[in-house]
Structure 1
Amino acid sequence: MTELITGSDGLARPAWAEASDLMRTYYDTEWGMPVHDEAGLYERLVLEAFQSGLSWSTILARRENFRRAFADFDPDKVAAFTEEDVARLKEDASIIRNERKIRAAITNARATVALRDDGGLPDFLWSFQPAETPAPRTIDEVPTTSEESVALAKALKARGFTFVGPTTMYALMSAIGMVDLHLVGSHRRGCSGVWAA
């Protein structure tokens, strides 16, 4: 389905948000809300990278395991991870055991720490906020990249980040409220306060 559906609570959501209680709660309380703290943004960078090629529900169901495995997404702690930590995480069945993504999380923690000398991750990411946000009426109208996500991906790579392609960065931008991809007519459209409904 590409249109909004009305849940048993009478609220309109896209079909993906009605797929489970977990997805509904995420949609209703978190997705698209502004995130401005370093640890919160680093967490979402890591989770979006792990999501690449997988469903978001797969990642969301393991989120607490990821938090445990990656020191509650404290960039300083993850930046200090060693090869022993990589080996440990590769054996941790409670997360996604993809070595490239595990190493990306560590690399991105180090890049996040380094970025503090130039204003920090929050200011850096939010400097790519577009002047306008899309207004999709169906899932088919939801863009997967933008000029800004392409530029952000390029800028992050130049700063040493990995697994930060334009599509992944657009997913991040929507998750943290930088763009509002809630469908027009959804009860969450405009919820971030960043954009008018």
Structure 2
Amino acid sequence: MRHFDEIFAIAADRHGGPAALDGKLTKPDPQITALPEDRWLSVMTRCVFNAGFNWKVIAAKWDGFERAFDGFDVGRNAFMDDAQLDAHLRNTEIVRNGAKIQSVRDNAAFLMELRDAGGAGKVLGGWPSQDYIGLLEMLKTRGSRLGAATGQYAMRFAGRDAFILSTDVTARLVAEGVIDKPATSKRALRAVQEAFNHWAAQSGRSLSEISQVLAYSV
């Protein structure tokens, strides 16, 4: 496994030099623990709907989603009744996918449950980056439709420190001998986490930055 500086140099060489590459990197939001729970629900919902759909279609309709789901108020959506669900299925302002619409209710209920542990900001935003795969497992088991890439994108788009196992990131991890195929098993994900933790210790960079550098290196 190469030193992170070597991987950064490969990526920088392909993207205009170190300064230009640094300028491309999105960093985690230092105020992520203060993100309101309605914004967590909003980003979760957007990533759930992005999965399997054209992202530009979802983006074009997003104002309609915000209106339809009351600004993603967690309490209102957690208690969505069947009549409201049926109304959403008739609403042309949103993408009318029944299973994904129901996930809004389920994830609102999930976020309400997190209040007992200090709230979404504390639990999701404050989860240790050194155990990011533990957070992903929790999202998969307790959230709705938040497994695999959807949970990873939701955490990145919310602004928390997060890696995304995209095709390019996976290719770099394979090239470095961390994994030999896309990481889906717990064993493979532990190997990925260990590699990211190692590179973080070498570089002082976040998971988000390391993930992007790996992608840019391919």
Q: Which runs of 5+ in 1 are unaligned?
A: 6-11, 15-26, 132-146, 182-193
Correspondences of 1:1-197 after superposition (within 5 Å): 33=29, 35=32, 36-131=35-130, 148=132, 150-159=133-142, 161-179=143-161
Is the contact between residue 152 and residue 166 of structure 1 (CA under 8 Å) also seen in structure 2? no
Higher gyration radius (CA): 2
Shift of 1:179: 3.4
What letter matches 2:105 in structure 1?
I
**CA distance 1:4–1:175, shift in 2 (3 Å):** farther
Instruction: Give structure 1 regions of 4+ aligned residues with deviation exceeding 3 angstroms.
Output: 31-35, 194-197
User: Within 1, Cα distance between the matches of 2:62 and 2:117?
Assistant: 30
User: Within 1, Cα distance between the matches of 2:162 and 2:116?
Assistant: 30
**CA distance 1:129–1:47, shift in 2 (3 Å):** farther
Q: Percent identity?
A: 23
User: Within 2, Cα distance between the matches of 1:71 and 1:46?
Assistant: 13
User: What root-mean-square deviation, in Å, do the aligned CA atoms of Structure 1 and Structure 2 show?
Assistant: 3.1
Is the contact between residue 89 and residue 102 of structure 1 (CA under 8 Å) also seen in structure 2? yes
User: Within 2, Cα distance between the matches of 1:32 and 1:87?
Assistant: 38
What letter matches 2:97 in structure 1?
N
Which residue of structure 2 lines up, in the alignment, with residue 143 of structure 1?
A: none
Shift of 1:94: 1.3
Shift of 1:99: 0.4
**CA distance 1:174–1:155, shift in 2 (3 Å):** same
Shift of 1:173: 2.1
**CA distance 1:39–1:4, shift in 2 (3 Å):** farther
Q: TM-score, normalized by length of structure 1?
A: 0.63
Shift of 1:4: 6.5
The structure where helix makes up a greater share of residues is 2
Query: How many corresponding residue pairs?
Result: 146
Is the contact between residue 152 and residue 169 of structure 1 (CA under 8 Å) also seen in structure 2? no
Q: TM-score, normalized by length of structure 2?
A: 0.57
Is the contact between residue 140 and residue 151 of structure 2 (CA under 8 Å) also seen in structure 1? no
User: Within 2, Cα distance between the matches of 1:4 and 1:61?
Assistant: 30
User: Within 1, Cα distance between the matches of 2:138 and 2:162?
Assistant: 22
